[in-house]
């Protein structure tokens, strides 16, 4: 979603801000802009499309000054045009605003401000904000912003500059993340940590309902009601390298390759002296008898596997809910219910709303999140970090496998707390988990040539079907989602047993059907599915054990995967060739794998 950046200090603001916007572009955007303060004036440059268009504009018409704000916009209200791009200004041009979120009462405000003589030049909800602030401004920016936020309904983070307040950036946050970075006699503002690098060494997360005044010397902070708040800074722990592509051609390729390391780190973090250690969740896991997993997209797919782990290992009744559905139901909760909110970003609006709904019903919520400083992490009663490191590619890859592994370890812990896991079972489960990183590395190496070859053949296919049973149904859904989102190929995942109840009508000799066939209890059933597709001349890609003759005979392509000692963990390996397949098909179709069209990394609006 939209990204906000701000800079005040000795450097040229435009150059710091364009780098910061580059670091925010993974969130998804379709236009961008800057406002820079200079000599009692606010200079504005905005451009639709890629950031390069903004850079070209700045090269042709530079903006000089040491204080400024910037924005990458992901259109909600109004098309991605120059006049809808941020910053938006008051009619006298003296107040400029960038905004992330949605102002829900914008139509009402627009009517009111128009009646007072304001002229609107865009279709955005955001434009109400500079007009509103300007109409309330009598020389005290904080008073005007405080009065303005009192009128705004919805979710927002804002950065504001005033032509007559050189060196100052004002910021306000209500339900959308905003971070302040402190450097050497310079302050920065951003929607996400990577945009503060490399200038800032310390970070402060603005709290809900807080207003900040940033100058190169420091920050002053208040709650919306004017009560002073102490800004809490902590060292920034990620490096600029962690948010760069390194030797890879894309973040997605880098993040797929990182999975063995990520999985090893996660398993290690949960072991002490060879035994599982419980993360401090502030919960009596023994008393939990009902778990609700909440997530969206890939995180929801991971939850489907979490359900299988919890039910098999800990015999706990588990529901999996798509966050945007859960939040509008009136879910039943009892004293032994636990909600687990699964989110890479920790900012997904629907999952956050589900969390808040659960907490309002006094249900404990554990956050399974990658970004440990995120809103979901902070609002959860307990936290299980994924430790996957920054995930920049819009398509989730390493966060998915980390989520799946984290849920396996959590299921073992619940089983242990309930006395359902003997020492021998714990040891063998840990041994199986410890093997996964090595098996993942082997799988990535093993499958690459076949995957690339199949992508060459099927890159122009109009649709692809993915079939799997048991835990591999989640893999089928996730494989299909990857192909849809980065290669723009229509793809669907089905439980393989459902295929003959309708979807099999799709099969022709033009349709690639990807069948996930591990050597588990469902293997023979999957062979029958392969026969059914083959009998109708479908093109078969199989994900299965290397050298499996039966699979080779029935398929056009076999994506070989290593075999896990514990069948339950096999989906962690089966998904790897499918991530690579989506990547290769996308490259052959000239798609931008890191920033697919229409998508955002962090979905902070409904
Ligand atoms: C798919 C993808 C999305 C996210 C979804 C939830 O590759 O990235 O489907 O999984 O938007 O995001 P988080 O996990 O940040 O809540």
Summarised one tens digit per residue, pLDDT across range 567-605 is: 999 999 999 999 999 999 999 999 999 988 888 777 777
The H-or-E segment that residue 218 falls in is: strand 218-223
Q: In angstroms, what is the span from residue 168 Cα to ligand 1's centroid?
A: 35
Show the tokens assigned to 31: 């236009």
State pLDDT tens for residues 244-273.
Answer: 898 999 999 999 999 999 999 999 999 988
> Do 233 and 201 touch, CB atoms closer than 8 A?
no
How crowded is residue 424: how many other Cβ atoms within 10 Å of its Cβ? 8
Query: Omega into 128 within 30° of 0, i.e. cis?
Result: no
Residue 85's contacts (CB-CB under 8 Å, 6 or more residues apart) are 31, 32, 33, 46, 47, 48, 71, 73
When the pLDDT of each residue in the chain is averaged and rounded to a whole number, the result is 94
CB of residue 343 inside a 6 A radius of ligand 1: yes
Percentage of the chain beyond pLDDT 70 is 100
Q: How far apart are the first and last CA of the chain?
A: 11
317-322/290-295 β-pairing = parallel
The atom of ligand 1 lying closest to the CA of 297 is 9
| SS3 category, 326 | helix
Q: Which pTM was predicted?
A: 0.84
Residue 99 · residue 131 · CB < 8 Å = no
**Tens digits of residue pLDDT in 379-422:** 999 999 999 999 999 999 999 999 999 999 999 999 999 999 99
Ligand 1 pocket, residue 299 CB under 6 Å: yes
3-state secondary structure 254-308: HHHHCHHHHHHHHHHHCEECCEECCCCCCCCHHHCCEEEEEECHHHHHHHHHHHH
The confidence score (pLDDT) of residue 1 equals 67
pLDDT tens, 121-152? 999 999 999 999 999 999 999 999 999 999 99
262 and 389 Cβ atoms separated by less than 8 Å: yes
Q: Which two tokens stand for residue 418?
A: 């309930």
**pLDDT tens by residue, 20-70:** 999 898 887 899 999 999 988 999 999 999 999 999 999 999 999 999 999
Return the structure tokens found at 520: 């588990």
Give the number of the atom of ligand 1 that is nearest the alpha carbon of residue 602: 15
Could you tell me if 333 and 321 are in contact, meaning their C-beta atoms sit under 8 angstroms apart?
A: no
Q: Mean pLDDT across the stretch 287-306? A: 97
For 13, the enclosing helix (H) or strand (E) is helix 13-24
In the block, tokens 């003997």 appear at: 422
For position 2, what pLDDT does the model report? 86
Instruction: Tell how far the Cα of 192 is from the centroid of ligand 1, in angstroms.
Output: 16
Other C-beta atoms closer than 10 Å to the C-beta of 402 total 28
From the CB of 396, is ligand 1 less than 6 Å away?
yes
Q: What is the pLDDT of residues 62-114, one digit of tens each?
A: 999 999 999 999 888 888 899 999 999 999 999 999 999 889 999 999 999 99
Structure tokens given for 28:
């998804």
How far is it, in rounded angstroms, from Cα 266 to Cα 360? 31
Under 8 Å CB-to-CB from 288, ≥6 apart: which residues?
Answer: 316, 336, 337, 338, 414
pLDDT at 523: 96
Residue 543 and residue 517 in contact, taking contact as beta carbons nearer than 8 Å: yes
Report d(CA 128, CA 121) in Å as an integer. 10
- Atom number, ligand 1, closest to the C-alpha of residue 482: 7
Provide the token pair at 439. 């098996």
Catalytic, 482? Answer no
The set of residues, in sequence order, having a beta carbon less than 8 Å from that of 41 and lying 6+ positions away, is 93, 163
């Amino acid at each position: 979603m939209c990204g906000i950046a701000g800079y005040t200090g000795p450097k040229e603001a435009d150059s710091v801000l364009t780098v910061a916007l580059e670091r925010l572009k993974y969130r998804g955007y379709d236009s961008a802009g800057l406002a820079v303060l200079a000599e009692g004036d606010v200079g504005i440059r905005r451009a639709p499309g890629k950031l390069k268009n903004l850079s070209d504009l700045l090269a042709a018409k530079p903006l000089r000054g040491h204080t400024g704000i910037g924005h990458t916009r992901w259109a909600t209200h109004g098309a991605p045009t120059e006049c809808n791009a941020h910053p938006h200004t008051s009619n006298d041009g003296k107040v400029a605003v960038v905004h992330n979120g949605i102002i829900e009462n914008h139509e009402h405000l627009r009517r009111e401000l128009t009646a007072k003589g304001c002229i609107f030049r865009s279709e955005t909800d955001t434009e109400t904000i500079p007009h509103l602030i300007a109409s309330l401004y009598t020389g005290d920016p904080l008073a005007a912003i405080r009065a303005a936020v009192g009128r705004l309904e919805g979710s927002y983070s804002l950065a504001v500059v005033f032509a007559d307040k050189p060196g100052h950036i004002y910021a306000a946050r209500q339900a959308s993340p905003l971070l302040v970075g402190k450097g050497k006699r310079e302050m920065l503002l951003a929607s996400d940590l990577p945009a503060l690098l490399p200038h800032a060494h310390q970070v402060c997360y603005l709290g809900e309902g807080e207003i900040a005044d940033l100058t190169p010397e420091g920050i002053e902070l208040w709650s919306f009601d004017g009560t002073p708040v102490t800004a809490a800074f902590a060292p920034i722990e990620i490096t600029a390298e962690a948010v760069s592509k390194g030797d890879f051609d894309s973040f997605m390729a880098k993040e797929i390759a990182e999975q063995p390391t990520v999985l090893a780190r996660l398993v290690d973090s949960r072991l002490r002296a060879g035994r599982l250690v419980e993360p401090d969740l502030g919960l009596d896991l023994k008393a939990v008898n009902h778990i609700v997993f909440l997530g969206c997209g890939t995180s929801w797919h991971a939850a489907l596997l979490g359900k299988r782990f919890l039910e098999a290992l800990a015999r706990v009744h588990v529901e999996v809910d798509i966050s945007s559905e859960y939040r509008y139901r009136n879910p039943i909760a009892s004293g032994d219910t636990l909600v687990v909110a699964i989110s890479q970003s920790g900012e997904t609006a629907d999952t956050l709303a589900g969390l808040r709904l659960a907490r309002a019903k006094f249900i404990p919520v554990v956050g399974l999140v990658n970004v440990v400083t995120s809103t979901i992490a902070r609002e959860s009663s307990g936290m299980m970090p994924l430790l996957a490191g920054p995930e920049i590619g819009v398509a989730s890859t390493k966060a998915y496998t980390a989520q799946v592994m984290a849920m396996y370890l959590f299921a073992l812990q619940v089983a242990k707390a309930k006395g359902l896991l003997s020492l021998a079972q714990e040891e063998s489960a840990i041994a199986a988990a410890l093997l996964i990183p090595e098996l993942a590395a082997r799988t990535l190496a093993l499958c690459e040539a076949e995957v690339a070859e199949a992508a060459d053949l099927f890159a122009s296919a109009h649709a692809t079907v993915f079939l799997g049973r048991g835990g591999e149904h989640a893999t089928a859904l996730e494989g299909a989602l990857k192909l849809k989102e980065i290669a723009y190929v229509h793809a669907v995942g089905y439980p393989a047993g459902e295929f003959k109840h309708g979807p099999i009508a799709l099969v022709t000799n033009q349709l690639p059907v990807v069948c996930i066939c591990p050597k588990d209890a469902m293997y023979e059933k999957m062979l029958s599915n392969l026969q059914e597709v083959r009998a109708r001349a479908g093109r078969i890609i199989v994900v299965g054990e290397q050298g499996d003759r039966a699979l080779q005979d029935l398929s056009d392509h076999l994506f070989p995967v290593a075999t896990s000692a514990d069948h339950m963990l096999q989906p962690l390996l089966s998904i790897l060739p499918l991530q690579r397949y989506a990547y290769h098909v996308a490259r052959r179709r000239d798609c931008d794998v890191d920033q697919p069209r229409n998508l955002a990394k962090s979905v902070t609006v409904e």
